[in-house]
Amino acid sequence: MKKVLSVLLAVALVSTLFVACGNGGTSTSTPSSGGTSTSTPASEPTGDSSTGGDKVASHNAVIEGNAYRAVYEDQMSEAVELAKADGLISEYNSFVANNDPALETQQIEQTINEGYDIIIVNPIAASGLDAVIDKAVEAGITYVNADCIYDSDKILNVVVNQDAWAKNASDFVIETLGEGGKVIEFKGIEGNSATEIRHARWSTDLEAAGIEIVKSVAHNWSDVESKQLMSEILASGLEYDGIINEEAANGIMDAIEEAGADYPGCITSSEEIAWIRRIADINKDELVCPFIVVENPPGIGATALAIALNIRQGNELDPEKMTGENAIYYDPQWIMTYDNMQEMLDSVADLPDSTSVSSYMTVEEAKAAYFK
């Protein structure tokens, strides 16, 4: 599995995030003020594609102010450059709807009318695009929805396996605390599909293991909010053993350290480099705060592109490797605990704190993983 580490802007994830979402003489697209971005065709495909490569459009709900979506866009562009070098893509354009559903629909219709071969959509929401999906399918376009499940049996969904992500965390908490443990649950955004899937997994697993969730709060993936919530919990005197958490762990730890409280018996989080280095530093001499870090890769868009390119080449998806008839779930690849801490730290040694870990599949890796 290819691992790719991408630079994140040093901004917090915001509540608009919806989840379950070179070489060869090419140019990279940049957003314009009108919410779209454009690129010029590759000068001449260097691979052996008999068609000269596909015309590809990427539709992203938002980039500005959303670190996850920014990395999604960066890794999509990176994957496009690799595919152009192999002659698989002749032209690529990226469109950003700035969380405007009407603009999103207009942009997708534009790419349909302009004869794109592949359309990858990381949508604003998991509904509302049925009409343009029907039009794309009727036109023979390979339309792939990325990052969140879109409720349609006419398209392929390629998403991060949020249940697997959550199970890594709950398994770790169960192994660390054991029966009788008490945990605080820090959720992301109430009603968000990823948060709901994670919460369902944690609730089921922890209850079965005899571990009680004594407090459940939502920090909206914000360090500011997670710090405030943790400060209030500490002030209340609530007894707990560990913390099961989605993201924004730095805010939680800020509250703990500023209050002079003991480190929790365990803590979980996702893949921000600043947090990775901080929790490693806390445990540098000995294990004093057991932890697990699990990536939630924004590279899922680049993986969706790799799968779409395989479909365009006539490769047939293997139903046994899919979840349901129209969904592929990508399991997190980058996981750090105390046991492999130094190895994982070394893998991100050259990256600044304002970065995040993300992985995606190449075209060949996707072929091996999901096709007959």
Half-sphere exposure of 98 (CA within 13 A, CB side): 9
Of 361 and 25, the one with more pLDDT: 361
pLDDT value of position 11: 30
- Residue 341, in any domain of the structure: no
Query: Got the DSSP string for 315-369?
Result: PPB-GGGSSSSSEEEEPP--EEEGGGHHHHHHHTTTS-TTEEEEE---HHHHHHH
User: Are both 190 and 114 inside the same structural domain?
Assistant: no
CATH number at residue 183: 3.40.50.2300
Give how far Cα 344 sits from Cα of 5, 222, 246, 293, 330, Å. 12, 25, 19, 10, 20
- What is the arithmetic mean of pLDDT over 226-250? 97
- What is the arithmetic mean of pLDDT over 98-123? 96
Looking at the chain, list the stretches that DSSP marks H as alpha helix, in order from N- to C-terminal side. Answer: 67-85, 101-113, 130-138, 162-177, 193-208, 223-236, 249-259, 273-282, 300-312, 341-347, 363-370
- Residue 173, in any domain of the structure: yes
- Residue 340, in any domain of the structure: no
User: Are both 230 and 269 inside the same structural domain?
Assistant: yes
pLDDT, tens digit, for every residue of 246-255?
989 999 999 9
pLDDT value of position 272: 86
* Number of domains making up the chain: 2
- Nearest CA to 17 among 221, 312, 236? 221
pLDDT value of position 185: 98
- What is the arithmetic mean of pLDDT over 25-46? 32
- Residue 102, in any domain of the structure: yes
Tracing tokens 């979980």 back to the chain, one arrives at 268
In one-letter notation, the amino acid at residue 221 is W
**pLDDT of residue 193 exceeding 90:** no
Provide the 3-class DSSP secondary structure of residue 99. coil
Domain residues for the domain of 51 are 3-160+297-332+357-370
Chain-wide mean pLDDT for the chain? 86
User: Are both 276 and 309 inside the same structural domain?
Assistant: no
Of 295 and 126, the one with more pLDDT: 295
In one-letter notation, the amino acid at residue 41 is P
User: Are both 174 and 281 inside the same structural domain?
Assistant: yes
**pLDDT of residue 46 exceeding 70:** no
Task: Write the burial class of residue 70 (CB in 10 Å: 0-12 exposed, 13-18 middle, 19+ buried).
Answer: buried
- What is the arithmetic mean of pLDDT over 26-46? 32
**pLDDT of residue 36 exceeding 50:** no
**pLDDT of residue 48 exceeding 60:** no
User: Are both 180 and 321 inside the same structural domain?
Assistant: no
Q: How far apart are CA 75 and CA 133, in angstroms?
A: 24
pLDDT, tens digit, for every residue of 214-232?
999 999 888 999 999 999 9
pLDDT, tens digit, for every residue of 167-192?
999 999 999 999 999 999 999 988 77
Contact (CB, 8 A) for 312 and 117: yes
User: Are both 234 and 249 inside the same structural domain?
Assistant: yes
pLDDT value of position 70: 81
User: Are both 33 and 124 inside the same structural domain?
Assistant: yes
Half-sphere exposure of 149 (CA within 13 A, CB side): 18
User: Are both 151 and 166 inside the same structural domain?
Assistant: no
Contact (CB, 8 A) for 67 and 8: yes
Query: In which band, very low, low, confident or very high, does the pLDDT at 328 lie, cut at 50, 70 and 90?
Result: very high
Q: How far apart are CA 306 and CA 224, in angstroms?
A: 36
Most distant CA atoms of the chain, gap in Å: 68
User: Are both 149 and 84 inside the same structural domain?
Assistant: yes
pLDDT value of position 121: 96
pLDDT value of position 15: 29
pLDDT, tens digit, for every residue of 136-157?
999 999 999 998 888 899 999 9
Q: How far apart are CA 303 and CA 144, in angstroms?
A: 11
User: Are both 30 and 65 inside the same structural domain?
Assistant: yes
Query: In which band, very low, low, confident or very high, does the pLDDT at 105 lie, cut at 50, 70 and 90?
Result: very high
pLDDT, tens digit, for every residue of 346-371?
999 998 887 788 889 999 999 999 99
**How much of the chain exceeds pLDDT 90, in percent?**
68
In one-letter notation, the amino acid at residue 254 is D
pLDDT value of position 335: 96
Final residue in a domain of this structure, among 294, 321, 343: 294
**pLDDT of residue 290 exceeding 70:** yes
Of 115 and 52, the one with more pLDDT: 115
CB under 8 Å to 260, separation ≥6 — which residues?
A: none
Q: How far apart are CA 298 and CA 282, in angstroms?
A: 27
- What is the arithmetic mean of pLDDT over 64-87? 88
pLDDT value of position 295: 92
pLDDT value of position 65: 63
Of 42 and 288, the one with more pLDDT: 288
User: Are both 130 and 34 inside the same structural domain?
Assistant: yes
